[in-house]
Amino acid sequence: MTFAGLSLFVSCNNNNNNQHKSLSTAEAIRQKEDGTISLNLDKADFYIDMDDRADNSAEWNVVVSKSGRYNVWITSATLDTTDLKYKNPVLVNVQDKMIAAHPDCDKIIVNSKDVQYPYFRADSFLGSLYLPDTGQFYIQVTSEMIMPKDYNIPESSAADISELISISFEPVNP
């Protein structure tokens, strides 16, 4: 009787462990078929300090299936299409490889479904990274323009703030 109970306990425990591993893998963001990695802030884990926003960061668990060189772009919501108002460089860290760049308004998209009126979507090229490895790892972005999901920008300062909404890695030679 004791042996049967112990076997049942071990069997249930093994099923729970397998389920936990599959849930962990399911939560990871997977690279698209064309090699692009798209990371929206609404799927990130955050560190937010609204008193000192310089260290605000977002992190994603990503499965990379294709190594190579990637162009790194961020997308922001902004009212000012000439200046995104980032005071500090945006830091992108992937497996201890880092880009630090000040975003410019490289592409402005009017009437984008990614932002609500009166904001414009601004895409900014940050640089390129070479990812020599494949596998599952974390991508972290640090910027004062990473805001909490429920944060409403005060109307008086909305023109002085852009909000980072996503980051993408596009393969240079797919």
**Mean pLDDT, residues 45-70 taken together:** 92
Q: 4-44: per-residue pLDDT in tens?
A: 443 433 444 444 333 222 234 448 999 999 999 999 998 99
Take residue 10 and report the two structure tokens written for it. 């071990």
Take residue 104 and report the two structure tokens written for it. 């410019």
Q: What angle do CA 165, 45, 63 make, to 5 degrees?
A: 90
pLDDT band at 161 (very low <50, low <70, confident <90, very high): confident
Q: 97-109: per-residue pLDDT in tens?
A: 999 999 999 999 9
The whole-model pTM stands at: 0.79
pLDDT at 132 over 60: yes
Handedness of CA 166, 157, 115, 127 (dihedral sign): negative
- How far is the C-alpha of 16 from the C-alpha of 48, rounded, in Å? 33
Kindly list the distances between the CA atom of residue 5 and the CA atoms of 12, 18, 139, in Å, as whole numbers in the listed order.
11, 20, 44
